[in-house]
Structure formats: structure tokens, C-alpha cells
Amino acid sequence: MRKELLFAFAAFFFMSLHAIAGSFAEEHTVPNVLAIKTYEKDMTGDGAKDQITLWGKPFEPGALFYKKIWAEINTSEGKEVQIDYEGGYEPEIQFPDLNHDGVKDLLQSSATGGSGGLYSYSLYTLADNVEEEIGMPPALSIEAHFENDYKGVITFNDTNESVTVDLSDRKDDYERLGIFQDGKLNEPTEMMVIPYAMFETVNIPDQKGVGLKGIQRISGAYQADGIGNVYSYWYYEKGQWNLTDVQWEDN
């Protein structure tokens, strides 16, 4: 009788250990991930719709920031593709044909959450079931600095053009900060060239299909001191992004 009780106790003990271990493993291996949005688009060019799911792993349960974002694409031919993206807020995917091959591309974006209102972007194609990163347009080469008499000069090296901006309405602030003294620069001082804040798909004149409009901000003494916006227009052709126009807009 004692031997049977011993076997029964041992069996119960090992079953309990197995249940605890299984519970622990489940708790630590099932990720806290969310299916943010699903799409049905023909991504390969075969005429059949593919299933695209945009997944995100929040920084913590209930958080709006996703520390990990990725897309899972299940093609109509049974192929599975995963594309990893940078973390961020409010991720989404758009499906323009930016390389003009007749097949939709994946243009993913998410807000970085900084004070500058910046977004991160990623662009891929899956035409003919081949995953390839197209990439985004390069940053413009811009130089910006203050000049005497409360002026700012912004030079666009890509087009060899420049604009001069009258900043005299901010002279009290700039004098207080020590940038100017009675309208004269205390020392050479550069303004702030902010990276691309966002991109928009736009029609490019005299071109087939759509391109991208990049938006950059120029700030003065500090980031909130917005001077104006630079709009650059890009068209993808022969495997590269080509700059078609640059426009300036004062704040």
C-alpha cells in the first residue's frame, strides 16, 4: 500500500511540474503582438490577390508605440514573405506603383513620435515573387545659415539655387538668444535642416505614373522656430530616384 502511494505521489509531483513548466513556457513564448491591419492586393503581378497582414509588437500592453513592426505576405501561389520595419506609431502600408513596372509596391510608414512630426518609410516590391527593397529618395543637399540684418540664406546644392528669407519679425528673440546684436551676427551661425518629415505620392508632370513629394523643414535658432518648408519631387526611373523639382515655401 505504501509503495502504491509513493508511486501515486511521484506521478502527481511530475505532472504538476510539467503543468507549471508548460504554463511558464506559454507565458514567456507567446508574444504580445497585434494584427494592425490586413490588406488584399496583387503584389506579384499574377492577377490574383495576395494576403498582407501588418503586425506590431507594442512597447508594453496597451502602448501606442510599436517597438517591432513587420508585414507578412501570403501570396496566391503559397509563398510566405516577411518584411521587417522600424518601430513607431500609427503604422500603415500604401500600395502605389512607384517603380512603374505595372505591379503595386509596398510603401510602409510610421510616425517616430518626436516633436518634429517625422515619419519613417520603407519601400519594397514583390513583383514576380521576388522580394526587393527599392528604397526611398536620398536627402537633399541643403545649406542654411543666418546673415546680417536678420536674414536667412538657404542654398539647394542639387539645383544650384538659393533663397533669402527676411527674419526681422523675430529679431527680439534672436537678439535675446545672442545670435544678433543690433542686426549684426555675433558669429557665423547655421540654421537647422530637418530630415524628411514625410513623403506623399504625387503626379509628376510629363511622366508616366506617380512619384514622391518629400517634405523637409528648415528651422532657425531651435526646432520650433520654423522658417519654411522644402518640397522635393522625385521620379523613379532606370533603377534610381531622379530629382525633378525643388520648391520653397516660407512659413
| pLDDT reported for residue 117 | 77
21 lies in the same domain as 49: no
Q: Which stretch of DSSP H or E encloses residue 177? A: helix 171-177
Domain that holds residue 244: 142-250
| pLDDT reported for residue 222 | 95
Q: Are 152 and 191 in contact (CB under 8 A)?
A: yes
Distances (CA, A) of 88 to 59, 100, 120, 189: 10, 28, 8, 33
Q: Are 193 and 142 in contact (CB under 8 A)?
A: yes
**Does pLDDT of 60 surpass 80?**
yes
227 lies in the same domain as 168: yes
Share of the chain above pLDDT 90, in %: 82
- How confident is the model over 80-128, as pLDDT tens digits? 999 999 999 999 999 999 999 999 999 999 999 876 679 999 999 999 9
243 lies in the same domain as 146: yes
Residue 31 pLDDT class (50, 70, 90 cuts): low
**Residue 136 DSSP symbol:** P
197 lies in the same domain as 218: yes
117 lies in the same domain as 79: yes
- For cell 555675433, the residue is 186
For residues 135 and 128, give the distance between their C-alpha atoms in angstroms, rounded to a whole number. Answer: 18
For residues 134 and 125, give the distance between their C-alpha atoms in angstroms, rounded to a whole number. Answer: 7
18 lies in the same domain as 38: no
| pLDDT reported for residue 73 | 98
| pLDDT reported for residue 113 | 84
199 lies in the same domain as 106: no
CA 217 to chain centre: 16
